[in-house]
A = this chain, B = another copy of it.
């Protein structure tokens, strides 16, 4: 495994229900967390409507710019599920009924009311040349086409597809993340944070204020691909906070 190269991914969240405000997205957080574990950095998310041209544009831009592209949403049996068609169009290949996907769906619906109807068979459609991503949760598989991974929109199903993919795609070092909390208004420690970050190249420090249990405070998140550097920087920030009169809380508040 390459320990120096940085692996990148982008996520395209597909669905009018997200852009209309009807549905609260849950996939960005879980895809991001999963990518961290694989040592892959999520560099951008785009949320686009159920419009083929918009999906094609985002996917083609990202599959050239990133190692991996993930999509969520639009792979069910209804007319508004157009992701497979869009990815096929992006790659310039036809949509086929994937034989293995058909078998999976035949098995899944054999003893279920309605059987494998024409609408359900839509969920066996893939771009020509694609592989399947197992879906232990509800039968209908995800799809891998080149470096593009097509996941379900329903968070539980997307999660089970991610589980099936874990350890199967190449990444680098997982990003190490440490959190240190303090009962400090972030404006009071702004200089201290900037100085600590500047003194430790390769580390990013984020500052996230809160109001909790009747008092202000902030959590400081130290992120690096170098675990030792993250720990050293955490120790340094802790000392600096204590010197400035604040009690640093490892793990955050």
Contacts and interface: CB of A to CB of B under 8 A. Distances in A.
Given A23-B208, A79-B197, A209-B154, A190 B45 contact: no
A85 interface: no
A163 interface: no
A80 B205 contact: yes
A148 to B, nearest CB: 18
A221 interface: yes
B188 A117 contact: yes
A121 B178 CA distance: 29
B18 A28 contact: yes
B42 A208 contact: no
Contacts of A114: 185, 187-188
Interface string A11-36: 00101111111111110111111111
Nearest to A58: B44
B29 A24 contact: yes
Query: How many copies, total?
Result: 2
A206 interface: yes
Output the residue of A46, A77, A194, A223 with the most chain B CB within 10 A: A77
A49 interface: yes
A54 interface: yes
Contacts of A13: 45
Contacts of A30: 21
B21 A29 contact: yes
Interface in A41-73: 41-50, 54
A78 B190 contact: yes
A193 interface: yes
Nearest to A210: B154
Nearest to A220: B78
Given A79-B194, A117-B188, A190-B78, A21 B32 contact: yes
A123 B187 CA distance: 10
A243 interface: no
13 contacts: A17-B221, A19-B42, A20-B32, A20-B42, A21-B31, A22-B206, A44-B48, A76-B209, A77-B190, A79-B197, A119-B187, A119-B191, A120-B187
Q: Which 8 A-B pairs have the closest CB atoms?
A: A21-B32, A119-B190, A21-B33, A45-B47, A79-B194, A77-B187, A119-B187, A78-B207
